[in-house]
Amino acid sequence: MGQIETPLRPPLKWAGGKRWLIPKLEKLWKKHSHLRLVEPFCGGLSVALGLQAEKALLNDVNFAVVNFYRQIQQGLILDISLENDEAAYYKHRSEFNRLNQEGGSEKTSAQLFYYLNRTGYNGLCRFNKSGGYNVPFGRYKKINYQTDFTKYQTLLSSWDFTCNDFAELDVNENDFIYADPPYDVPFHQYAQQGFRWEDQVRLAEWLVQHKGPVVLSNQATDRVIELYTRLGFKLKYIDAPRRISCTVSGRKVVKELIATRGF
């Protein structure tokens, strides 16, 4: 399959997405683009789409996002109501949580997840410890909803999506791994399981065992810097925009750590 000329935009809004990082990742990926791309935390899919990977193993512990991508592989077209309305939002959120707790249509769950993602507050994806999606209504003036995702189908159909802990991935020694875990910040309830400091350490120790090229991005906190320095990674620092604050003045630039091995 040949590469498409213009990368597709990610189908979801994603707080902490890495579209802004693609130009730097492309420089690392260019010499290794014949390899399979492995993302233990694929999130909003901006990296796989931006790099236009032909072969990819894309994993996320968030069952809702993985199900959404799997439904796109099957030619997802939305047929639920899409209203930028608070009452409709909470009704759909309740139905989404019911389906996930009781088991139900994966197609309907994917449609509801997309609606919640586009309509909820600030592109956040957050679950409580019971597995309930709890992002509040977003209060946007206007939302351009998408209903037909078939333009993504061909590309995504060549990728494998899994929903596991990163340590359970079936990784080949020459895979190109890009890891973008939940950041080392107080909020870590991106999925029901959370992602704590001990998971950050587990990830770093898992990555250092890989024989192929590895790239990691994380917020440059003191303990993250110490962890990856100790394990022998090459470190670079760049300015990263933050777009999660509810006010423009609160969306400050912070330092991002890029750790690499095998280049």
Domains of the chain and CATH, by start: 19-68+151-261 (3.40.50.150), 78-147 (1.10.1020.10)
Q: Quick check: 200 and 221 in contact, CB under 8 A? A: no
How far apart, in whole angstroms, are the C-alpha atoms of residue 123 and residue 242? 12
How much is the average pLDDT of 187-207?
A: 81
Q: How confident is the model at residue 130 (pLDDT cuts 50, 70, 90)?
A: confident
Average pLDDT over residues 12-30: 93
- Segment 238-257 mean pLDDT: 65
pLDDT tens-digit map of 41-58:
999 999 999 999 999 999
What would the DSSP string read from start to end of 160-227? Answer: EEE-S-GGG----TT-EEEE-PSPSSS---SSTT---HHHHHHHHHHHTT-SS-EEEEEE--HHHHHH
Considering the entire predicted model, what is its pTM? 0.90
